[in-house]
Amino acid sequence: MLLQQTAPDAISAWLDSIPFVPSAVTGPLGNAIVFVVVLAGIYLVGRLFVLPVVDRALRSRELDAHARRPLRKLVNLAVIFVAIAVAFGMADYGNILTALATVGAAATLAIGFAMQDVLANFVAGIFIYTDKPFRIGDWIEWDGNSGVVEDISLRVTRVRTFDNELLTVPNSQLTDGVIKNPVAKNQLRLKFDFGIGYDDDIDRATEIILEEADAHEGIMDDPEPSVRLVELGDSSVALQSRIWISNPSRSDFVKVRGEYVQSVKERFDAEGIDIPYPNRTIGGGIELSNVDGVVEPADD
């Protein structure tokens, strides 16, 4: 007979057997207890068994933290939804989907207007996870800002600037505009223009630039450094050096470029190759008019 009872009826019968519990509240109270117990039980089972299984499955597919984190959040939300749905049914509250449809029909318009920015950022977050324009740890630049990505969620991305400031950026800002990811391919090409005088030896200056690139341990041999004459300026000849560094970060970029440019400058100074200052020649004269009425000063 007990097996034929529903969970709320069994709870109600148990509460009725307690002398100090009023019979008028056993029905609603029994339903509430069933709802809480079932909800907590299913959620704990999901946290203890389902999430670890999903996490192992994601790791077996060699997904990095960038991809695993949002998927684990979605699985956790799914566990919560299943727990609530089952608890609704077990507590004899009816079908949760019907209840959600009724509430949702009345709130759709208001929620749509209130959450349009949130939904836009959520969709943008999905695009970031699928398109992978950048990953956690990448150095990115956008709209005059730059920094290292510390966290990517489904709504915002957190970026640590090189002044140690933490920026919380809505994902839609990172998908609507142009994002520069200098380290997307684990290599970064640096370009720097060295200006030499017109009387200096271009071939010798080129040799010095390449020798200093080969001597620096942070500069790659493949692709090899190169130098091109790119401009005949007003006061100098511009030689553009192109070098590559591997696994770059912002600090590597600044450090390697600074050391490399300094070493080339010191070699130029040692071998008498001039880095000229810009020169400007100003010509012309002053013409005076309407000076007939000017009175000359009297002689003393």
Q: Are residues 26 and 53 in the same domain?
A: yes
User: What does the pLDDT read at residue 248?
Assistant: 67
Owning domain of residue 57: 2-114
Q: Are residues 170 and 245 in the same domain?
A: no
Q: Are residues 161 and 244 in the same domain?
A: no
Count of Cβ atoms closer than 10 Å to residue 52 Cβ:
10
> pTM score, two decimals?
0.48
Distance (Å, whole) CA 112 – CA 171: 18
> What rounded mean pLDDT belongs to the chain?
76
Q: Are residues 20 and 109 in the same domain?
A: yes
Query: CA end-to-end span of the chain, whole Å?
Result: 139
Q: Are residues 7 and 95 in the same domain?
A: yes
Q: Are residues 251 and 198 in the same domain?
A: yes
Q: Are residues 257 and 205 in the same domain?
A: yes
Is the residue at 288 inside a domain? no
**Residue 255: both structure tokens together:** 């450090």
Confidence of residue 150 (pLDDT cuts 50, 70, 90): confident
Q: Could you say which DSSP state residue 219 is in?
A: S
Residues 239-290: tens digit of each pLDDT = 999 988 876 666 677 888 889 999 999 999 998 888 777 666 566 566 656 6
The candidate with the shortest Cα–Cα distance to 93, out of 23, 26, 35, is 35
Confidence of residue 206 (pLDDT cuts 50, 70, 90): very high
User: What does the pLDDT read at residue 298?
Assistant: 57
CATH number at residue 137: 2.30.30.60
User: What does the pLDDT read at residue 141?
Assistant: 85
| Residue 162: partners with Cβ closer than 8 Å, 6 or more residues away | 146, 147, 148, 250
The number of domains in the chain is 3
Residues 161-204: tens digit of each pLDDT = 877 888 898 888 888 878 887 766 677 788 889 999 888 889 99
